[in-house]
C-alpha cells in the first residue's frame, strides 16, 4: 500500500546518507580503478605462473612414472631370462666312450 504521507526528516536523512555512501563508494572505486586493475593483473599473472609451475611438475612426474615403468619391464624381462637360464640344465656333451679290448 502506497502512502501519501510526507517522509519524516529521519527517513530523508537516512536516504541522503545512503545515497552519500553509494556516491562515496563509487568515487572510491573510480579513484582506485587503475590501482585495483593493476592488482588484479598481478594476481592473474601470479595465478598463471603458479599454474605453469604446476603443469611442469605434473609433466616431470609423468615422465618419471614412464621411466619407472620402462625400467620395471626391462627388469622383469631380465629376471625371467635369468630364471630360464638357471632352470635349464646344461647341454649334455656327447663324448664317445671307447671300450678297451
Number of H helices, E strands in the chain: 2, 0
Residue 84: closest CA among 94, 76, 96, 74: 76
**Does the pLDDT at position 3 exceed 80?**
no
**Does the pLDDT at position 48 exceed 90?**
yes
CA–CA distance, 28 with 24 (Å, rounded to integer): 6
Better pLDDT: 74 or 43: 74
The C-alpha cell of 97 is what?
Answer: 666312450
**Does the pLDDT at position 13 exceed 80?**
no
Residue range 29-38: average pLDDT? Answer: 66
**Does the pLDDT at position 28 exceed 70?**
no
Answer yes or no: pTM beyond 0.75: no
> Which residue bears the cell 598463471?
48
Amino acid at each position: 500500500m502506497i502512502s501519501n504521507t510526507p517522509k519524516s526528516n529521519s527517513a530523508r536523512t537516512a536516504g541522503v546518507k545512503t545515497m552519500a555512501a553509494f556516491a562515496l563508494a563509487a568515487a572510491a572505486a573510480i579513484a582506485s580503478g587503475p590501482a585495483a586493475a593493476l592488482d588484479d593483473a598481478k594476481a592473474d599473472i601470479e595465478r598463471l605462473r603458479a599454474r605453469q609451475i604446476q603443469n611442469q611438475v605434473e609433466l616431470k612426474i609423468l615422465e618419471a612414472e614412464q621411466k619407472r615403468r620402462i625400467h620395471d619391464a626391462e627388469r622383469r624381462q631380465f629376471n625371467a631370462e635369468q630364471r630360464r637360464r638357471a632352470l635349464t640344465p646344461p647341454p649334455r656333451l656327447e663324448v664317445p666312450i671307447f671300450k678297451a679290448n
